[in-house]
Structure 1
Amino acid sequence: MSYFNDVILGVIEGITEFLPISSTGHLLLAQHWLGARSDTYNIVIQAGAILAVTLIYWRRLVDLATGWRDPANRNYLAKLATAFLLTAVLGVVVKKAGFELPETVTPIAWALVIGGLWMLLAENLAARLPDSAAITWRVAVAVGIAQVVAGVFPGTSRSAATIFAAMLLGTSNRAAATEFAFLVGIPTMYAASAYQLIGQVGSGVAEDWTGLAIAFAVSTVTAFVSVKWLLGYIRTNRFTVFAIYRIVFGILLLGMGMAGIVS
């Protein structure tokens, strides 16, 4: 039964990591029922979702790496690097300052609700802008800052914060904003996962490596499918359904927290 639980957790992580609905809240609730997992476990299954997105964008990544002589590619790479470095520097500052909300039900639930309402507003504002797939420097800076904000406020959703930061500041085309947000997320999340994993080395916590491997594999496959679906969905649809889902799920978590079902 325990390995079946690992499959469930891998599915949840794979579905929620890159959809703009926050993986943190879903894993918090799932692990309440299925049993808490170590930080190492949560980091590794997150890496599975990152691997899936890397595989989806591998042609784009290879094109950017091998075509750096092209001015457009160099410009795009420079903006990716700027967003990543801004996240890294500000992330270290925030970490050293200890400014981070706990991953408990109440702040996560409020972040889900507030984030959902903000997504509805942002979607309407972005719809009034002329369609543009261009990534400007202010978009790159905003995406870098948005990643830090999402890290400080669990439940915000890194993908939601970065996609809508890009859309509101000029990249109104959903597909272009999502691609940039996801490409920035690849090195950012690899670096964050590696940093956290190194911190866990020698912690002395016993780990079920078989269960972790199962969850990692399931997370990778599930994330690949869910992100592929999302990229097709947003070509002709808004993010409204995700915003509504966040609000409903956040209210549900608040109610469960008040009832003492989760903490």
Structure 2
Amino acid sequence: MNYIEAIILAVIEGITEYLPVSSTGHMIIASSFMKIASDDFTKLFTIVIQLGAILSVVILYWKRFFQSLDFYFKLLVAFIPAVVLGLLLNDVIDELLESPVVVAITLILGGFILLKVDDWFKANEVYDEAQPEAHTKISYATALKIGFFQCLAMIPGTSRSGASIVGGMTQKLNRKTAAEFSFFLAVPTMFGATAKKLYDYYKAGFVLSSDQINYLIIGNVLAFIVALIAIKSFIDYLSKKGFKIFGYYRIILGMALLLIHFFIYELTVV
């Protein structure tokens, strides 16, 4: 990896982390084109810089993070499924992280779901979106169910935000409330994923060079700044327009990737 590649991946992360299009999937695609997808540091980088994007949520919604202990307990409950399954499936997930074909197929399948999700849960939008305390109406049972939906994102290309938002909508939350809870849930999830990835990296005997440390710093800062802009834009758009445009985007991108991979340029990097 070099500085240009680090910057490209960080900008992609910042833009896509909160959109239901899969930030990890996009970084796998980009790193595959740059022929660095299978590099151990690249795998570390694509996980760790998500922390920068996640911290933008703490800044934008800082008041929510100091309201009550109940809020933290609900996030903890929602976080538990990812901890358990993440530890059990760690090796499988690492293998999938090298497969642009898996990403392409998952993008397409998820795209078709997003084309229909607004119609499936149209009744949810009668919920009063103007309530700043809307997140407090999320029960512990609802939080746990959303946590299980989030685990679907362990398949690259699924989208952590998309899976958890749709999970929230299955529990009768409107788009905005489900999206915001998804953002909050990202904080412990990505803190945990970052800590686990760094531990595994050092356990395997790798040591970060000075350049690699700089890549991680630059990546986190850029992802943070770009994500600040992306969150506000996404919430406004989602509340008014829904998911369809993201569904079409996923399907077009997934099909294009399959065509490129099988007929033009093999994306899998060995």
- With the length of structure 1 as denominator, give the TM-score of the two structures: 0.86
Query: Secondary structure of 1:215's match?
Result: helix
Matched residue of 2:63: which SS? helix
Residue equivalent to 1:155: 157
Aligned to 1:79: 74
Report Cα offsets for 1:12-66 as digits up to 9, x if no partner.
Answer: 11111121101122112211333415123222212111122222221110223xx
Q: Deviations 1:78-123 (Å, cap 9, x if unpaired)?
A: 4322111233223333448x57761201111110000010122222
Whether 1:135 and 2:138 are equivalent positions in the alignment is yes
- Aligned residue runs from structure 1 range 160-175, under 5 A: 160-171=162-173, 173-175=174-176
Matches within 5 A, 1:72-111: 74=70, 76-95=71-90, 98=92, 102-103=96-97, 104-111=99-106
Which aligned runs of 4 or more in structure 1 are off by greater than 6 angstroms?
none
Correspondences of 1:1-263 after superposition (within 5 Å): 2-36=2-36, 38=41, 39-64=43-68, 68=69, 74=70, 76-95=71-90, 98=92, 102-103=96-97, 104-129=99-124, 131-132=126-127, 134-151=137-154, 153-171=155-173, 173-201=174-202, 203-204=205-206, 207=209, 208=211, 209-259=213-263, 260-263=265-268
The amino acid of 2:164's aligned partner reads T
Q: Distance in 2 between matches of 1:51 and 1:147?
A: 18
C-alpha distance after superposition, 1:196-225 (max 9, x if no partner): 111111533554222332222111111111
Q: Distance in 2 between matches of 1:28 and 1:149?
A: 17
- 8 Å contact 1:122–1:168 — kept in the other structure? no
Amino acid across the alignment from 2:145 = A
Compute the TM-score of the two structures, normalised by the length of structure 2. 0.84
Structure 1 alignment gaps of length 5 or more: 69-73
In the alignment, which residue of structure 2 is the partner of 1:71?
Answer: none
Q: Is the 8 A contact 1:167 1:174 kept in 2?
A: yes
Amino acid at match of 2:107: L
Q: In structure 2, what is the Cα distance between the partners aligned to 1:99 and 1:31?
A: 17
Alignment partners' CA distance in 2, 1:33 and 1:101: 18
Q: What amino acid sits opposite 1:221 in the alignment?
A: I
Q: State the SS of the aligned residue for 1:84.
A: helix
Query: How many pairs were matched up?
Result: 251
Q: Which amino acid aligns with 2:170?
A: L
Q: 1:197 to 1:138 in 2, by over 3 A?
A: same
Give distance in 1, aligned partners of 2:217 and 2:75: 31
Q: Which amino acid aligns with 1:255?
A: L
Contact 1:136/1:170, CA 8 A, preserved across alignment = no
Going from structure 1 to structure 2, the CA distance change for 1:223 and 1:129 (only over 3 Å counts) comes to closer
**1:216-257 CA deviation, whole Å, 9 max, x = no partner?**
211111111111211222221211111111111111111111
Q: Quick one: structure 1 residues 100 and 206, their matched pair in 2 at CA, closer, same or farther if it must change by over 3 Å? A: closer
Listed as ranges, the gaps of 5+ residues in structure 2 are 128-133
Q: State the 1:175 CA deviation.
A: 0.8
